Amino acid sequence: MGKTVSEKILSRASGKDVYAGDIVVAEIDAVMMHDGMAKLVIDAFNEMNGRRVWDPSRVLIVIDHVAPSAYEAFSKVHKLMREFAFKHNVKFREVGSGICHQLMIESGLVSPGSLIVASDSHTCTYGALGAFSTGIGSTETAAVLISGKLWFKVPETIRVIVDGKLPLMVYPKDVILNIVGRVGADGATYKAIEFTGSTVKSMDVEGRLTLTNMAVEMGAKTGIIEPDEKTYAFLGSIGHKADSGFRSDEDAEYSETLKFDVSDLEPQVACPHRVDNVKPISEVEGKEVDQVFIGSCTNGRIYDLRVAAEILKGRHVKRGVRAIIVPASRRVYRQALMEGLIQIFIDSGCAVCNPGCGPCAGAHQGILAPGEVCISTSNRNFKARMGSPEAEIYLASPATAAASAVTGEITDPRRFMREG
Protein backbone atom coordinates (compact mmCIF):
# COMPACT_ATOMS: atom_id res chain seq x y z
CA MET A 1 0.00 0.00 0.00
CA GLY A 2 1.28 3.42 -0.96
CA LYS A 3 1.96 6.27 1.44
CA THR A 4 1.13 9.94 1.69
CA VAL A 5 3.81 12.61 2.13
CA SER A 6 3.01 12.78 5.86
CA GLU A 7 3.28 9.03 6.32
CA LYS A 8 6.64 9.02 4.54
CA ILE A 9 8.05 11.83 6.68
CA LEU A 10 6.95 10.21 9.93
CA SER A 11 8.29 6.85 8.74
CA ARG A 12 11.69 8.44 8.12
CA ALA A 13 11.69 10.33 11.41
CA SER A 14 10.68 7.30 13.46
CA GLY A 15 12.79 4.74 11.61
CA LYS A 16 9.72 2.56 11.12
CA ASP A 17 7.30 1.70 8.34
CA VAL A 18 4.20 3.55 9.55
CA TYR A 19 0.74 4.46 8.31
CA ALA A 20 -2.18 6.58 9.51
CA GLY A 21 -3.29 5.57 12.98
CA ASP A 22 0.10 4.27 14.13
CA ILE A 23 1.72 5.71 17.26
CA VAL A 24 5.39 6.63 16.80
CA VAL A 25 8.27 8.27 18.63
CA ALA A 26 10.06 10.43 16.09
CA GLU A 27 13.30 12.35 15.86
CA ILE A 28 12.67 16.08 15.56
CA ASP A 29 14.61 18.08 12.96
CA ALA A 30 13.98 21.53 14.43
CA VAL A 31 12.03 23.23 17.21
CA MET A 32 11.04 26.85 17.84
CA MET A 33 9.51 28.92 20.63
CA HIS A 34 8.49 32.58 20.87
CA ASP A 35 7.75 35.07 23.63
CA GLY A 36 4.07 34.18 23.75
CA MET A 37 4.88 30.76 25.22
CA ALA A 38 8.55 30.98 26.24
CA LYS A 39 8.09 31.35 29.99
CA LEU A 40 5.91 28.25 30.16
CA VAL A 41 8.41 26.30 28.09
CA ILE A 42 11.42 27.38 30.13
CA ASP A 43 9.61 26.72 33.41
CA ALA A 44 8.75 23.20 32.19
CA PHE A 45 12.35 22.68 31.02
CA ASN A 46 13.60 23.54 34.51
CA GLU A 47 10.94 21.39 36.23
CA MET A 48 12.15 18.45 34.12
CA ASN A 49 15.67 19.15 35.37
CA GLY A 50 16.80 20.01 31.88
CA ARG A 51 20.52 20.74 31.94
CA ARG A 52 21.24 21.21 28.27
CA VAL A 53 19.49 21.45 24.93
CA TRP A 54 19.86 18.26 22.89
CA ASP A 55 21.11 20.10 19.76
CA PRO A 56 21.46 23.93 19.91
CA SER A 57 21.84 24.15 16.12
CA ARG A 58 18.27 22.89 15.69
CA VAL A 59 16.62 25.31 18.13
CA LEU A 60 15.35 28.81 17.32
CA ILE A 61 14.07 31.27 19.95
CA VAL A 62 12.28 34.36 18.66
CA ILE A 63 11.00 37.55 20.30
CA ASP A 64 8.14 38.57 18.00
CA HIS A 65 4.74 38.63 19.67
CA VAL A 66 5.25 41.76 21.78
CA ALA A 67 8.33 43.25 20.20
CA PRO A 68 9.42 45.76 21.38
CA SER A 69 7.91 44.99 24.77
CA ALA A 70 4.82 46.98 25.72
CA TYR A 71 4.64 45.79 29.33
CA GLU A 72 7.04 45.05 32.18
CA ALA A 73 5.69 41.50 32.34
CA PHE A 74 6.81 40.85 28.76
CA SER A 75 10.13 42.58 29.37
CA LYS A 76 10.77 40.00 32.07
CA VAL A 77 9.89 37.21 29.64
CA HIS A 78 12.24 38.66 27.04
CA LYS A 79 15.03 38.84 29.59
CA LEU A 80 14.41 35.21 30.55
CA MET A 81 14.52 34.19 26.88
CA ARG A 82 17.81 35.95 26.26
CA GLU A 83 19.38 34.34 29.30
CA PHE A 84 18.16 30.88 28.22
CA ALA A 85 19.28 31.35 24.61
CA PHE A 86 22.75 32.57 25.54
CA LYS A 87 23.24 29.91 28.21
CA HIS A 88 22.39 27.09 25.81
CA ASN A 89 23.92 28.71 22.72
CA VAL A 90 20.83 28.23 20.57
CA LYS A 91 19.79 30.30 17.57
CA PHE A 92 18.16 33.52 18.76
CA ARG A 93 16.35 36.36 17.00
CA GLU A 94 16.00 39.67 18.80
CA VAL A 95 13.23 42.30 18.75
CA GLY A 96 12.58 43.56 15.23
CA SER A 97 13.90 40.47 13.44
CA GLY A 98 10.46 39.38 12.36
CA ILE A 99 7.75 36.77 12.82
CA CYS A 100 8.87 33.38 14.10
CA HIS A 101 7.49 31.38 11.18
CA GLN A 102 9.07 33.62 8.57
CA LEU A 103 12.37 33.47 10.46
CA MET A 104 12.26 29.68 10.70
CA ILE A 105 12.05 29.55 6.91
CA GLU A 106 14.75 32.19 6.40
CA SER A 107 17.06 30.50 8.93
CA GLY A 108 17.36 27.34 6.87
CA LEU A 109 15.82 25.14 9.56
CA VAL A 110 12.93 24.19 7.29
CA SER A 111 13.54 21.82 4.40
CA PRO A 112 11.44 19.33 2.41
CA GLY A 113 10.93 16.08 4.27
CA SER A 114 11.78 17.48 7.69
CA LEU A 115 9.77 17.09 10.90
CA ILE A 116 9.36 20.37 12.77
CA VAL A 117 7.51 21.37 15.93
CA ALA A 118 7.03 24.66 17.72
CA SER A 119 5.02 26.21 20.53
CA ASP A 120 2.67 27.96 18.11
CA SER A 121 -0.39 26.65 16.32
CA HIS A 122 0.59 28.12 12.94
CA THR A 123 3.73 26.04 12.73
CA CYS A 124 1.82 24.18 10.00
CA THR A 125 2.97 27.01 7.70
CA TYR A 126 6.19 25.15 6.83
CA GLY A 127 4.21 22.45 5.05
CA ALA A 128 4.35 24.66 1.96
CA LEU A 129 7.99 23.58 1.71
CA GLY A 130 7.16 19.90 1.98
CA ALA A 131 7.85 19.59 5.72
CA PHE A 132 5.59 17.94 8.30
CA SER A 133 5.25 20.76 10.82
CA THR A 134 2.84 21.17 13.70
CA GLY A 135 2.22 23.21 16.82
CA ILE A 136 2.70 21.61 20.24
CA GLY A 137 2.22 22.60 23.88
CA SER A 138 4.75 24.17 26.21
CA THR A 139 5.51 20.97 28.14
CA GLU A 140 5.99 19.05 24.88
CA THR A 141 8.31 21.78 23.62
CA ALA A 142 10.41 21.49 26.77
CA ALA A 143 10.59 17.73 26.32
CA VAL A 144 11.80 18.18 22.73
CA LEU A 145 14.44 20.68 23.87
CA ILE A 146 15.81 18.04 26.23
CA SER A 147 15.41 14.85 24.17
CA GLY A 148 15.01 15.85 20.53
CA LYS A 149 12.09 13.42 20.28
CA LEU A 150 8.30 13.46 20.48
CA TRP A 151 5.47 10.98 20.06
CA PHE A 152 2.88 11.33 17.33
CA LYS A 153 -0.20 9.57 16.12
CA VAL A 154 0.26 9.41 12.37
CA PRO A 155 -2.67 11.44 10.99
CA GLU A 156 -5.02 10.48 8.23
CA THR A 157 -4.78 12.79 5.22
CA ILE A 158 -7.46 14.79 3.46
CA ARG A 159 -6.52 15.51 -0.12
CA VAL A 160 -7.63 18.96 -1.25
CA ILE A 161 -7.48 19.41 -5.02
CA VAL A 162 -7.69 23.02 -6.21
CA ASP A 163 -8.02 23.59 -9.95
CA GLY A 164 -8.69 26.56 -12.18
CA LYS A 165 -7.00 29.83 -13.04
CA LEU A 166 -7.50 32.47 -10.37
CA PRO A 167 -9.43 35.52 -11.62
CA LEU A 168 -7.78 38.92 -11.43
CA MET A 169 -7.65 40.38 -7.91
CA VAL A 170 -8.30 36.96 -6.36
CA TYR A 171 -5.41 35.57 -4.36
CA PRO A 172 -4.27 32.52 -2.35
CA LYS A 173 -5.83 34.08 0.77
CA ASP A 174 -9.21 34.02 -0.96
CA VAL A 175 -8.64 30.38 -1.88
CA ILE A 176 -7.87 29.26 1.66
CA LEU A 177 -10.71 31.30 3.16
CA ASN A 178 -13.09 29.61 0.73
CA ILE A 179 -11.73 26.18 1.69
CA VAL A 180 -11.96 26.91 5.43
CA GLY A 181 -15.51 28.14 4.98
CA ARG A 182 -16.55 24.94 3.24
CA VAL A 183 -14.61 22.46 5.40
CA GLY A 184 -15.45 24.16 8.71
CA ALA A 185 -13.44 24.97 11.82
CA ASP A 186 -13.42 21.33 12.96
CA GLY A 187 -13.79 19.58 9.63
CA ALA A 188 -10.20 18.33 9.55
CA THR A 189 -9.45 17.75 13.22
CA TYR A 190 -6.16 15.86 13.66
CA LYS A 191 -5.90 15.29 9.92
CA ALA A 192 -3.11 16.29 7.56
CA ILE A 193 -4.38 18.40 4.66
CA GLU A 194 -2.47 17.79 1.45
CA PHE A 195 -3.02 20.63 -1.01
CA THR A 196 -2.61 19.84 -4.70
CA GLY A 197 -4.11 20.63 -8.09
CA SER A 198 -3.26 22.95 -10.96
CA THR A 199 -3.99 26.12 -8.97
CA VAL A 200 -1.62 25.14 -6.15
CA LYS A 201 1.09 24.09 -8.59
CA SER A 202 0.84 27.44 -10.39
CA MET A 203 1.22 29.40 -7.13
CA ASP A 204 4.60 30.66 -6.05
CA VAL A 205 5.86 29.45 -2.68
CA GLU A 206 4.71 32.56 -0.82
CA GLY A 207 1.16 31.91 -1.96
CA ARG A 208 1.43 28.29 -0.87
CA LEU A 209 2.61 29.43 2.56
CA THR A 210 -0.70 31.26 2.95
CA LEU A 211 -2.59 28.03 2.26
CA THR A 212 -0.70 25.85 4.74
CA ASN A 213 -0.61 28.58 7.38
CA MET A 214 -4.39 28.35 7.77
CA ALA A 215 -4.73 24.56 7.76
CA VAL A 216 -5.02 24.67 11.55
CA GLU A 217 -8.13 26.85 11.18
CA MET A 218 -9.86 23.66 10.04
CA GLY A 219 -8.52 21.74 13.03
CA ALA A 220 -5.79 20.08 10.98
CA LYS A 221 -2.60 18.70 12.47
CA THR A 222 -0.69 20.08 9.52
CA GLY A 223 -1.04 21.36 5.98
CA ILE A 224 1.40 20.09 3.39
CA ILE A 225 2.30 20.49 -0.29
CA GLU A 226 4.57 18.20 -2.26
CA PRO A 227 7.89 19.93 -2.96
CA ASP A 228 8.71 20.76 -6.58
CA GLU A 229 11.17 22.87 -8.54
CA LYS A 230 9.54 26.06 -7.23
CA THR A 231 10.21 24.86 -3.69
CA TYR A 232 13.90 24.28 -4.32
CA ALA A 233 14.27 27.52 -6.28
CA PHE A 234 12.66 29.47 -3.43
CA LEU A 235 14.98 27.95 -0.85
CA GLY A 236 17.94 28.66 -3.10
CA SER A 237 16.85 32.29 -3.45
CA ILE A 238 17.18 32.77 0.30
CA GLY A 239 20.53 31.02 0.44
CA HIS A 240 19.58 27.46 1.38
CA LYS A 241 20.17 24.26 -0.54
CA ALA A 242 17.66 21.58 0.37
CA ASP A 243 17.64 17.84 -0.12
CA SER A 244 14.79 16.31 -2.08
CA GLY A 245 11.65 15.72 -0.04
CA PHE A 246 8.82 13.25 -0.47
CA ARG A 247 5.86 12.88 -2.79
CA SER A 248 2.71 10.88 -2.16
CA ASP A 249 2.41 7.54 -3.93
CA GLU A 250 -0.26 7.16 -6.57
CA ASP A 251 -1.93 4.44 -4.50
CA ALA A 252 -1.73 6.35 -1.20
CA GLU A 253 -4.90 6.18 0.87
CA TYR A 254 -6.76 9.37 1.83
CA SER A 255 -9.57 9.67 4.33
CA GLU A 256 -11.31 12.07 1.97
CA THR A 257 -10.73 13.93 -1.28
CA LEU A 258 -12.20 17.40 -1.72
CA LYS A 259 -12.25 19.26 -5.04
CA PHE A 260 -12.42 23.01 -5.55
CA ASP A 261 -12.69 24.94 -8.82
CA VAL A 262 -11.60 28.55 -8.29
CA SER A 263 -12.08 29.74 -11.87
CA ASP A 264 -15.05 31.91 -10.87
CA LEU A 265 -14.04 32.60 -7.26
CA GLU A 266 -14.61 36.15 -6.05
CA PRO A 267 -12.71 37.77 -3.16
CA GLN A 268 -13.64 36.15 0.15
CA VAL A 269 -14.11 37.60 3.65
CA ALA A 270 -14.27 35.76 6.98
CA CYS A 271 -16.80 37.54 9.18
CA PRO A 272 -16.89 37.77 13.00
CA HIS A 273 -16.31 35.83 15.09
CA ARG A 274 -15.32 32.60 13.30
CA VAL A 275 -12.72 31.94 10.66
CA ASP A 276 -15.14 29.60 8.88
CA ASN A 277 -17.86 32.26 8.72
CA VAL A 278 -16.79 33.03 5.17
CA LYS A 279 -18.79 35.00 2.65
CA PRO A 280 -18.13 36.32 -0.87
CA ILE A 281 -17.26 39.99 -0.75
CA SER A 282 -20.45 40.89 -2.59
CA GLU A 283 -22.34 39.99 0.60
CA VAL A 284 -20.10 42.04 2.91
CA GLU A 285 -19.06 45.05 0.87
CA GLY A 286 -19.92 48.41 2.38
CA LYS A 287 -19.23 47.59 6.02
CA GLU A 288 -17.38 50.60 7.48
CA VAL A 289 -13.95 49.94 8.99
CA ASP A 290 -11.84 51.77 11.56
CA GLN A 291 -8.58 49.85 11.15
CA VAL A 292 -6.81 47.94 8.41
CA PHE A 293 -3.99 45.52 9.23
CA ILE A 294 -1.72 44.13 6.50
CA GLY A 295 0.87 41.69 7.82
CA SER A 296 1.10 38.54 10.01
CA CYS A 297 2.53 35.08 9.34
CA THR A 298 -0.28 34.63 6.83
CA ASN A 299 0.19 37.69 4.63
CA GLY A 300 3.22 39.76 5.64
CA ARG A 301 5.62 38.59 2.93
CA ILE A 302 6.98 40.59 0.00
CA TYR A 303 4.35 39.19 -2.39
CA ASP A 304 1.60 40.46 -0.07
CA LEU A 305 3.16 43.90 0.31
CA ARG A 306 3.45 44.23 -3.46
CA VAL A 307 -0.25 43.45 -3.84
CA ALA A 308 -1.19 46.07 -1.23
CA ALA A 309 1.16 48.68 -2.71
CA GLU A 310 -0.33 48.21 -6.17
CA ILE A 311 -3.66 49.45 -4.85
CA LEU A 312 -2.34 52.09 -2.44
CA LYS A 313 0.04 53.73 -4.91
CA GLY A 314 -1.16 57.24 -5.72
CA ARG A 315 -4.06 56.92 -3.29
CA HIS A 316 -4.56 57.81 0.36
CA VAL A 317 -6.01 56.04 3.37
CA LYS A 318 -9.42 57.53 4.08
CA ARG A 319 -9.66 60.07 6.87
CA GLY A 320 -10.66 58.39 10.13
CA VAL A 321 -9.15 55.03 9.14
CA ARG A 322 -5.78 53.82 10.40
CA ALA A 323 -3.86 51.42 8.19
CA ILE A 324 -1.04 49.42 9.78
CA ILE A 325 1.58 47.63 7.70
CA VAL A 326 3.91 45.09 9.35
CA PRO A 327 6.50 43.27 7.19
CA ALA A 328 7.11 39.66 8.19
CA SER A 329 10.87 40.02 8.65
CA ARG A 330 13.86 42.33 8.24
CA ARG A 331 14.60 40.60 4.95
CA VAL A 332 11.08 41.41 3.74
CA TYR A 333 11.30 44.98 5.09
CA ARG A 334 14.61 45.53 3.30
CA GLN A 335 13.22 44.21 0.03
CA ALA A 336 10.15 46.43 0.38
CA LEU A 337 12.44 49.41 0.91
CA MET A 338 14.49 48.56 -2.18
CA GLU A 339 11.34 48.24 -4.29
CA GLY A 340 9.89 51.53 -3.04
CA LEU A 341 6.92 49.86 -1.36
CA ILE A 342 7.57 51.45 2.03
CA GLN A 343 7.57 54.87 0.37
CA ILE A 344 4.19 54.08 -1.18
CA PHE A 345 2.78 53.05 2.20
CA ILE A 346 4.10 56.15 3.95
CA ASP A 347 2.87 58.47 1.20
CA SER A 348 -0.58 56.88 1.38
CA GLY A 349 -0.84 57.55 5.11
CA CYS A 350 -0.11 54.09 6.49
CA ALA A 351 1.75 53.38 9.72
CA VAL A 352 4.65 51.04 8.92
CA CYS A 353 5.79 49.13 12.02
CA ASN A 354 8.88 47.06 12.73
CA PRO A 355 8.79 43.41 11.65
CA GLY A 356 6.90 41.20 14.08
CA CYS A 357 3.45 39.94 14.92
CA GLY A 358 2.12 43.41 15.61
CA PRO A 359 -1.65 43.73 16.05
CA CYS A 360 -2.39 40.10 15.15
CA ALA A 361 -2.08 38.72 18.69
CA GLY A 362 -3.76 41.73 20.27
CA ALA A 363 -0.87 42.71 22.52
CA HIS A 364 0.16 46.06 21.03
CA GLN A 365 0.47 48.15 17.85
CA GLY A 366 -3.21 48.38 17.07
CA ILE A 367 -5.52 47.37 19.91
CA LEU A 368 -9.17 47.74 18.97
CA ALA A 369 -11.62 49.78 21.06
CA PRO A 370 -15.21 48.69 21.77
CA GLY A 371 -17.38 48.96 18.69
CA GLU A 372 -14.48 49.26 16.25
CA VAL A 373 -14.18 47.23 13.06
CA CYS A 374 -10.92 45.92 11.62
CA ILE A 375 -10.23 44.20 8.33
CA SER A 376 -7.09 42.11 8.66
CA THR A 377 -4.90 39.87 6.54
CA SER A 378 -4.22 37.68 9.58
CA ASN A 379 -5.58 34.18 10.22
CA ARG A 380 -7.98 34.56 13.15
CA ASN A 381 -10.94 36.79 13.94
CA PHE A 382 -12.00 35.41 17.32
CA LYS A 383 -13.81 37.67 19.76
CA ALA A 384 -11.25 39.84 21.65
CA ARG A 385 -8.39 38.56 19.44
CA MET A 386 -7.18 42.08 18.67
CA GLY A 387 -8.50 43.98 21.66
CA SER A 388 -12.01 44.66 22.90
CA PRO A 389 -14.49 41.76 22.87
CA GLU A 390 -16.93 44.31 21.51
CA ALA A 391 -14.82 44.89 18.39
CA GLU A 392 -15.25 43.05 15.08
CA ILE A 393 -12.53 41.49 12.92
CA TYR A 394 -12.92 40.58 9.27
CA LEU A 395 -10.27 38.53 7.44
CA ALA A 396 -9.36 39.11 3.82
CA SER A 397 -6.55 39.27 1.28
CA PRO A 398 -4.00 42.12 1.16
CA ALA A 399 -5.80 43.45 -1.94
CA THR A 400 -9.16 43.60 -0.19
CA ALA A 401 -7.57 45.12 2.92
CA ALA A 402 -5.77 47.81 0.91
CA ALA A 403 -8.88 48.68 -1.09
CA SER A 404 -10.84 48.97 2.15
CA ALA A 405 -8.21 51.33 3.60
CA VAL A 406 -8.77 53.72 0.69
CA THR A 407 -12.57 53.72 0.82
CA GLY A 408 -13.07 53.31 4.57
CA GLU A 409 -15.38 50.34 4.08
CA ILE A 410 -14.97 46.70 3.08
CA THR A 411 -14.38 46.99 -0.65
CA ASP A 412 -14.07 44.63 -3.58
CA PRO A 413 -10.52 45.22 -4.90
CA ARG A 414 -11.78 44.57 -8.42
CA ARG A 415 -13.25 48.07 -8.29
CA PHE A 416 -9.71 49.42 -8.49
CA MET A 417 -8.87 47.05 -11.31
CA ARG A 418 -11.71 48.57 -13.32
CA GLU A 419 -10.55 52.08 -12.45
CA GLY A 420 -7.08 51.24 -13.70
Residue 83: DSSP 8-state? H
- Of residues 203, 255, 194, 201, the one with CA closest to residue 225: 194
Q: CATH fold of 270-419, please?
A: Aconitase; domain 3 (3.30.499)
From the number of C-beta atoms within 10 Å of its C-beta (0-12, 13-18, 19+), residue 52 rates as exposed
Question: What is the pLDDT, as a whole number, of residue 290?
Answer: 98
Q: Between helices 398-407 and 302-312, what is the axis angle to 10°?
A: 30
**How far is the first Cα of the chain from the last one, in angstroms, to the nearest whole number?**
54
Residue pair 160/196 in contact (Cβ under 8 Å)? The answer is yes
Query: In the chain, what are the domain boundaries?
Result: 5-259, 270-419
Q: Which among 50, 45, 33 has a CA at the least distance from the CA of 90?
A: 33
| 281 vs 276: CA distance, rounded Å | 14
Task: State the number of CA atoms in the 13 A half-sphere of 128 facing the CB.
Answer: 29
Instruction: Judge whether 392 and 374 are in contact, CB under 8 Å.
Output: yes
pLDDT at 264: 97
Domain boundaries 5-259, CATH class: alpha beta
- Helical (H) or strand (E) element with 210: helix 205-213
Q: How far apart are CA 402 and CA 321, in angstroms?
A: 11
* Fold agreement (5-259, 270-419): yes
Cβ(93)–Cβ(111) under 8 Å? no
**Going edge to edge, which strands form the sheet with 373-376?**
278-280, 268-270, 392-395, 373-376, 291-294, 322-325, 351-352
Contacts of 383 (CB under 8 A, 6+ apart): 272, 273, 389
Record the pTM.
0.95
User: CA geometry: angle at 233 spanning 58 and 377, to 5°?
Assistant: 75
**Residue 362, pLDDT score:** 86
Q: What is the pLDDT of residue 242?
A: 77
Task: Spell out the per-residue pLDDT of the chain, length 420, in tens.
Answer: 899 999 999 999 999 999 999 999 999 999 999 999 999 999 999 999 999 999 999 999 999 999 999 999 999 999 999 999 999 999 999 999 999 999 999 999 999 999 999 999 999 999 999 999 999 999 999 999 999 999 999 999 999 999 999 999 999 999 999 999 999 999 999 999 999 999 999 999 999 999 999 999 999 999 999 999 999 999 999 989 877 899 999 999 999 999 999 999 999 999 999 999 999 999 999 999 999 999 999 999 999 999 999 999 999 999 999 999 999 999 999 999 999 999 999 999 999 999 999 899 888 899 999 999 999 999 999 998 998 999 999 999 999 999 999 999 999 999 987 443
pLDDT at residue number 212? 98
**SS3 for 212-247, per residue?**
HHCHHHHCCCEEECCCCHHHHHHHHHCCCCCCCCCC
292 with 369: CB under 8 angstroms?
Answer: no
Tell me how far the alpha carbon of residue 111 is from its chain's centroid.
16
